[in-house]
Structure formats: structure tokens, C-alpha cells
Amino acid sequence: MISQIWNLVLYQPLLNALAFLVSIIPGGDVGIAVIVLTILVKVILFPLSRKSIESQAQMNMLAPELQKIKESGASKEEQATRTFELYKQHKTNPFSGCLLMLIQIPIIFALYYVFLKGIHFQNGVLYSFVHIPAHMNMIFLGIVDIGKKSLLLAILAGVSQSLQAHFMPMPALSGGANPSFQDSFGKSMNMQMKYVFPFIVAFIAYNISGAVALYWITSNLFMVGQQIYIKKKVFTPNMIKVESKVILEEMKQLDKEKKLTK
């Protein structure tokens, strides 16, 4: 049942889209079709990715104030109440970024699976209005055979993964004198994403096929551009300064209201 839903909703539509792209691209260059399909999927998912990055940035700005609540000496219940009020005032959900990423994962994995299985089109999986491409050119731009292992594309996949990790939003840190477990775990994960995961990506990409490596390169470069765009257009330095001032004023107001109720 799950496999049928997977094929019907994710795998089959993506495979048909790839077949259609190969049939209309001059020369039937499968590598170009892989790039175009990856970009199209990323563009469709862009609203979700944008909200995820915005949520992470918002949490980063609230981190100092959340630390002040923890160090206020209030009871656990009072800390939870003030934290909830802070999230509510800034319309921030600490779990929204994770939820949005969870929505994207099946789609991205299905796209990866299309290339992982190999570029083979059969009538059994193609829609009636999508025909098997008359010509398929696996030599990307006449240079690299993406149907086989490619050391060059594997290295570029690892480099692009490292670049993408460099521009990835840093996890929100509490800023306290003694780092919490969450802070230490966040820093550790960030270091691994920057210095370990790129080698893993390169190793996997080399041992599967050039198509998978090309998918990874395109996906990572798109995400780099997306993160740069969002940071410049949405979270400007002036906006962050204004947000920080607003947060401080609201926290002061909360403290005054708390004292009046005692």
C-alpha cells in the first residue's frame, strides 16, 4: 500500500516529467534534463524552504531573550508561559522549520530515487500521453557520461555540499556562559555538515552514478542561491536591529506586567 502511494504520488510523476524533458531537450541530453527537473522541483518547494529559513532566522534573533527567561530564576511553569508569550507575540513556531523540512524530504528523496534507479523509461511507468524519448544522450554536454561513475562530478558534488553547508543558517544558540546540551549538539552537527558530510556525499555520488552527482550539485547550488537571496531580501541588518529592539522593549514590558501582578 505504501509503495503504491509512493509510486503514484511521487516517483511516477517525477519519472514522467524527466522523460518529457528528455524528449523536448535538443539532442536528448539527459544531464540537462536532470538539471532542469531538479530546479523545477526546487522552485516548487521554494515557499516551504523560505519559511523554514525564516523560522530559523527568527529563532536565532529570539535566542538571547529565551536565555534571559531561563536565567530569570522563575519557575519552570512561569518560564514556559513567558516563552510561549514571546513566541506568540512574534508569531514564531519553534517547530515550523522542522515540519516544513519533513514535508520536503519525501519529494526530494523521490527525485533522488529517480536518478538512483537509473535513467530507464518503460511504458509500464509512463503515462499514456508521455512517450519514451526517441533519443537519449547520456553524455552530459558531450563531456561526462552520467550513466556511469564520474570522479569529476563526485568531487563537485562534495564541494557544492560544503558550499551549501557554509551558507546554511547557524542553529540558534542560547548565549549563556555554560553551553547547554542543545548548543553543543547544534555546534557539533554544524561542524559535521561542513567538514564530514561533503566527503560522504562525494563518496556516495561516485559509487552510484554521475546522474546522482549532477542532481546533488544542482540541488546544492540552488539552495546556496536561495539562502543568499532570502538573507539579503528578507533578513537585512536593519531589520534584525529593529527586531532586536522590539524584542527588548517587549521583554521589559513583560517584566513590568509581572511585577504589577505580584
Distance between CA atoms of 198 and 200, rounded to whole angstroms?
A: 5
pLDDT at position 181:
46
pLDDT confidence of residue 179: 53
Lookup: cell for 251: 521583554
Return d(Cα 174, Cα 137) in angstroms, integer.
52
Mean pLDDT of the chain: 75
Q: pLDDT digit string (tens) for 150-203?
A: 899 999 999 998 888 877 765 555 555 555 545 555 566 666 677 788 888 888
Nearest to 29 by CA among 175, 183, 135: 135
Q: What is the pLDDT of residues 71-82, one digit of tens each?
A: 666 677 777 777
Cα–Cα distance, 25 to 158 (Å, whole number): 28
DSSP conformation class of 7: I
Q: How many domains does the chain have?
A: 1
- Joined together, the cell numbers standing for residue 185 give 549538539
Based on its alpha-carbon atoms, the radius of gyration of the chain, rounded to whole angstroms, reads: 23
Give me 93's grid cell: 513556531
Residue 107 pLDDT > 70: yes
For residues 6 and 128, give the distance between their C-alpha atoms in angstroms, rounded to a whole number: 19
The whole-number pLDDT of residue 116 equals: 77
Closest alpha carbon to 180 in 58, 62, 71: 71
Asked if 137 and 147 touch (Cβ cutoff 8 Å), the reply is no
pLDDT of residue 155: 93
Confidence at residue 235, expressed as pLDDT on a 0 to 100 scale:
55
What pTM did the predictor assign?
A: 0.71
Domain interval for residue 74:
2-261
CA distance 178 to 101: 30
